């Protein structure tokens, strides 16, 4: 198969949702369609268990498991589909944000009863920043939930997406009969008793006005469906694939993942319209996937669970060219040549050594501490991929050394954990004190535990009253100097040496913005 064919058949995406909306169930159904797993429950058993928020040992255990589900690849209708796992746990939010930098499109799962929830809003915001094409799947139609039009409204107002319904439910909960596929003009009937064989009954039906509809779904449902489909045709635009690809239209499907209903409609549409590997921006230039020379970036680092083996797995997203095993590549930040003898590919939950991989693929590289998130690997060109920012954390604490004899171990451990993206560290300009910022409170315990177990170092925390960390920039050197001298005690550097303003409250931030209008405050590290 030619390079171009390999490229075009790849679709790399992530599923985003609020925990419990049905991401794991949907992933599993997709893998079943692709024949990548044979039995239901194979992914489920790997799932990050609920109610584990207060138990960091449980998170440690899950961390081990989640290597296996980081990338799940399967083949469907001659395409190679890579699903990148976007952990839905609340304390994994930043990891999830970063994974989204490595996808070309996303599927957003919304629970029909709960509607659009907070985590979905945050994740969709990240996709929108990058204009990632998104398809929405409204799940759990076998249960009572919100009215379809109200949901479309929520999708538009809360998520800011331009909804284009491609399927429409016929009733819901007890009355749920199936969906009308607006894209293919087909009635797809839900027959719950047949869920074991995963079959849907598809009735090709392109004339909703036909009296036959009454005999199939009953009078009341037929009338309702006709009315609703009329309304959809009046209110919502037709799908324009280019608009979808530009991130400006968002197809919406309805179904029930657990019953495997409506999933195939969405998957069939997905393989038709979802983008193949897209060009990627670097600080230097745009990298096209079909370039001859290989390039890629690290978007996730996974530490080994075994403290005796400090090696980690760095996940590389291939952006251009063909990646080959045992070939000399350039680690751009470290300006050093490296080759990889055991690059790993993932196929559902199986791992295997690969000889070559193509744009859109994810390869796991064994790493003894060379990589940090955002690093580029190329055939020689100095490229730095953009779009892998850090986000302002929400919780902060001072971190201190609790064992004076182990300060080196502490420094090393903290550095490596930050490179892995467990949390962010800021060093205050005035006194050199280290502040750790995380998305969830649990991360502090995880850091303490891992420092002890993996690095033999002890740390203690002290509360610090902070609201946000903002990266600052300013074109006017004098204005910057003035800001730096006036706000000295609130300034810090991140691990890349970038200047960060640590705002104590929303008010301090507002005042700083007002008093220093020439200084820009950014909520992500990339601006
Ligand atoms: P998540 O990964 O987004 O957190 O969600 P997950 O797939 O685990 O689904 C959350 C719960 O919703 C699960 O139930 C799952 O069985 C259920 N679910 C998923 N899709 C559907 C659907 O189409 N209809 C209905 N009625 N339920 C659905 P659970 O009881 O929490 O877990 P389990 O005991 O079933 O494993």
Alpha-carbon torsion 260, 265, 269, 271, what sign? Answer: positive
Please report whether residue 459 resides in a domain: yes
User: Which residue has the CA at smallest separation from atom 29 of ligand 1?
Assistant: 20
Span 239-289, pLDDT tens digits: 999 999 999 999 999 999 999 899 989 999 999 999 999 999 999 999 999
Give me ligand 1 centre to Cα 451, in Å.
35
User: Which residue has the CA at smallest separation from atom 6 of ligand 1?
Assistant: 22
Q: Which domain holds residue 27?
A: 12-66+102-273
Question: Do 60 and 190 share a domain, yes or no?
Answer: yes
Question: Do 312 and 430 share a domain, yes or no?
Answer: no
Report whether pLDDT(238) > 50.
Answer: yes
Q: How sure is the predictor about 321, in pLDDT bands with cuts at 50, 70 and 90?
A: very high
Please report whether residue 387 resides in a domain: no
Question: Do 431 and 464 share a domain, yes or no?
Answer: yes
Give me ligand 1 centre to Cα 367, in Å.
36
At 312 the pLDDT is: 83
Please report whether residue 207 resides in a domain: yes
Question: What's the whole-number mean pLDDT along residues 395-405?
Answer: 94
At 239 the pLDDT is: 94
Q: How sure is the predictor about 49, in pLDDT bands with cuts at 50, 70 and 90?
A: very low
Atom of ligand 1 nearest to the CA of 257: 23
Q: How many CA atoms lie within 13 A of 276 on its CB side?
A: 16
What pairs with residue 280 in β-bridges?
287
Ligand 1: residue of 14, 20, 86, 261 to mutate (most ligand atoms within 8 A of CB) is: 20
Report whether pLDDT(303) > 90.
Answer: no
- Beta strands (DSSP E) in 217-343 are 250-254, 280-281, 286-287, 295-303, 312-320, 323-324, 329-331, 336-338
User: Which residue has the CA at smallest separation from atom 22 of ligand 1?
Assistant: 140
Give me ligand 1 centre to Cα 141, in Å.
12
Please report whether residue 333 resides in a domain: yes
Ligand 1: residue of 18, 25, 123, 176 to mutate (most ligand atoms within 8 A of CB) is: 25
Question: Do 359 and 487 share a domain, yes or no?
Answer: no
Report whether pLDDT(489) > 80.
Answer: yes
In angstroms, the Cα distances linking 408 to 311, 404, 414 are 19, 9, 10
Pocket of ligand 1 (CB under 6 A): 17, 19-25, 44, 47, 88, 139-140, 142-143, 256-259
Please report whether residue 7 resides in a domain: no
Report whether pLDDT(52) > 50.
Answer: no
Please report whether residue 290 resides in a domain: yes
Q: What mean pLDDT, rounded, does the chain reach? A: 88
Span 55-81, pLDDT tens digits: 555 666 666 556 666 788 888 999 999
Q: How sure is the predictor about 51, in pLDDT bands with cuts at 50, 70 and 90?
A: very low
Atom of ligand 1 nearest to the CA of 261: 23
- Identity of the highest mean pLDDT range in 148-157, 188-197, 207-216, 360-369: 148-157
User: Which residue has the CA at smallest separation from atom 16 of ligand 1?
Assistant: 258
Please report whether residue 229 resides in a domain: yes
Residue that finishes a domain, picked among 352, 378, 404: 378
At 31 the pLDDT is: 87
Span 2-48, pLDDT tens digits: 999 999 999 999 999 888 899 888 988 998 887 766 655 556 554 54
Residue that finishes a domain, picked among 237, 258, 273: 273
In angstroms, the Cα distances linking 164 to 138, 226, 250 are 13, 17, 6
Span 157-213, pLDDT tens digits: 999 999 999 999 999 898 899 999 998 888 888 876 555 555 667 777 778 888 889
What pairs with residue 179 in β-bridges?
169, 188
Atom of ligand 1 nearest to the CA of 255: 23
Q: What's the rounded Cα separation, in Å, for the pair 265 and 413?
A: 48
DSSP, collapsed to helix, strand or coil, labels residue 39 as coil
Question: Do 364 and 476 share a domain, yes or no?
Answer: no
Question: Do 160 and 258 share a domain, yes or no?
Answer: yes
Give me ligand 1 centre to Cα 172, in Å.
17
Atom of ligand 1 nearest to the CA of 109: 3
Please report whether residue 92 resides in a domain: no
Span 415-452, pLDDT tens digits: 988 888 888 999 999 999 999 998 777 788 889 988 99
Which one has a higher pLDDT value, 507 or 304? 507
Question: Do 345 and 410 share a domain, yes or no?
Answer: no
DSSP, collapsed to helix, strand or coil, labels residue 281 as strand
Question: Do 181 and 311 share a domain, yes or no?
Answer: no
Q: How sure is the predictor about 351, in pLDDT bands with cuts at 50, 70 and 90?
A: confident
CATH number of the structural domain spanning residue 484 = 3.30.70.3280
Give me ligand 1 centre to Cα 24, in Å.
8
Atom of ligand 1 nearest to the CA of 17: 3
Ligand 1: residue of 15, 19, 22 to mutate (most ligand atoms within 8 A of CB) is: 22
In angstroms, the Cα distances linking 404 to 91, 409, 461 are 30, 10, 15
Give me ligand 1 centre to Cα 21, in Å.
7
What are the CB-based long-range contacts (under 8 Å, 24+) for 499-503?
Answer: 499/471, 499/472, 499/473, 500/426, 500/469, 500/470, 500/471, 500/472, 501/469, 501/470, 501/471, 501/472, 502/396, 502/426, 502/428, 502/435, 502/466, 502/468, 502/469, 503/466, 503/467, 503/468, 503/469, 503/470
Residue that finishes a domain, picked among 219, 241, 273: 273
Quote the distance between the C-alpha of residue 469 and its chain's center. Answer: 22
Domain total in the chain? 3
Question: Do 419 and 465 share a domain, yes or no?
Answer: yes
Q: What's the rounded Cα separation, in Å, for the pair 19 and 2?
A: 40
pTM: 0.85
CATH number of the structural domain spanning residue 360 = 3.40.50.300
Question: Do 136 and 212 share a domain, yes or no?
Answer: yes
Question: Do 198 and 303 share a domain, yes or no?
Answer: no
Q: What's the rounded Cα separation, in Å, for the pair 451 and 310?
A: 12
Question: Do 433 and 485 share a domain, yes or no?
Answer: yes
At 61 the pLDDT is: 61
Q: What's the rounded Cα separation, in Å, for the pair 39 and 28?
A: 9
Give me ligand 1 centre to Cα 75, in Å.
24
Q: How sure is the predictor about 501, in pLDDT bands with cuts at 50, 70 and 90?
A: very high
């Amino acid at each position: 198969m030619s390079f171009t064919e390999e490229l075009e058949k790849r679709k790399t995406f992530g599923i985003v949702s609020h925990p419990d909306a049905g991401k794991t169930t949907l992933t599993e159904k997709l893998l079943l369609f692709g024949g990548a797993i044979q039995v239901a429950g194979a992914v489920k058993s790997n799932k990050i268990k609920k109610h584990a928020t207060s138990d960091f040992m449980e998170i440690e255990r899950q961390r081990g498991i989640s290597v296996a589900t980081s990338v799940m690849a399967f083949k469907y209708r001659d395409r190679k589909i890579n699903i990148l796992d976007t952990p839905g746990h609340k304390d994994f939010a930043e990891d999830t944000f970063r994974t989204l930098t490595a996808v070309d499109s996303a599927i957003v799962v919304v629970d029909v009863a709960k509607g659009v929830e907070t985590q979905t809003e945050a994740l969709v915001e990240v996709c929108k920043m990058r204009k990632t094409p998104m398809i929405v799947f409204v799940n759990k139609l076998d249960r009572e939930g919100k009215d379809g039009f109200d949901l479309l409204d929520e999708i538009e107002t809360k998520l800011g997406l331009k909804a284009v319904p491609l399927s429409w439910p016929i009733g819901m909960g007890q009355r749920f009969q199936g969906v009308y596929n607006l894209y293919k003009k087909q009635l797809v009937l839900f027959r719950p008793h047949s869920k074991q064989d995963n079959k849907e009954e598809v009735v090709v039906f392109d004339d909703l006005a036909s009296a036959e509809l009454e005999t199939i779904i009953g009078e009341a449902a037929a009338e309702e469906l006709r009315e609703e489909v009329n309304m959809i045709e009046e209110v919502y635009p037709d799908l324009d694939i280019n608009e979808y690809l530009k991130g400006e239209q968002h197809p919406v499907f309805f179904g029930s993942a657990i019953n495997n209903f409506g999933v195939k409609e969405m998957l069939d549409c997905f393989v038709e319209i979802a983008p193949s590997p897209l060009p990627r921006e670097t600080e230097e230039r745009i990298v096209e996937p079909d370039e001859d020379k290989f390039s890629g970036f690290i978007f996730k680092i996974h530490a080994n669970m075994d403290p005796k083996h400090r090696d980690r797995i760095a996940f590389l997203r291939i952006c251009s060219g063909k990646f080959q095993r045992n070939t000399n590549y350039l680690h751009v930040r470290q300006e050093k040549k490296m080759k990889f003898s055991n690059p790993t590919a993932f196929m559902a939950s199986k791992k295997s050594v690969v000889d070559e991989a193509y744009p859109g693929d994810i390869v796991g590289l064994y790493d003894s501490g060379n990589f940090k998130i955002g690093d580029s690997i190329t055939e020689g060109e100095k490229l730095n991929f953009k779009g892998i920012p850090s986000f302002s954390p929400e919780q902060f604490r001072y971190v201190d050394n609790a064992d004076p004899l182990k300060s080196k171990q502490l420094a090393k451990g903290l550095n490596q954990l930050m490179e892995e993206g467990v949390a962010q560290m800021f060093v205050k300009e005035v006194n050199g004190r280290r502040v750790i910022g995380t998305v969830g409170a649990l991360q502090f315990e995880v850091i303490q535990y891992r420092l002890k177990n993996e690095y033999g170092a002890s740390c203690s925390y002290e509360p610090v009253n902070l609201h946000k960390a903002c990266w600052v920039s300013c074109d006017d050197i004098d204005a910057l100097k003035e800001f730096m001298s006036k706000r000295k005690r609130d300034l810090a550097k991140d691990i890349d040496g970038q200047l960060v303003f640590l705002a104590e409250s929303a008010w301090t931030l507002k005042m700083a913005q007002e008093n220093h209008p020439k200084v820009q405050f950014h909520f992500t590290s990339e601006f």
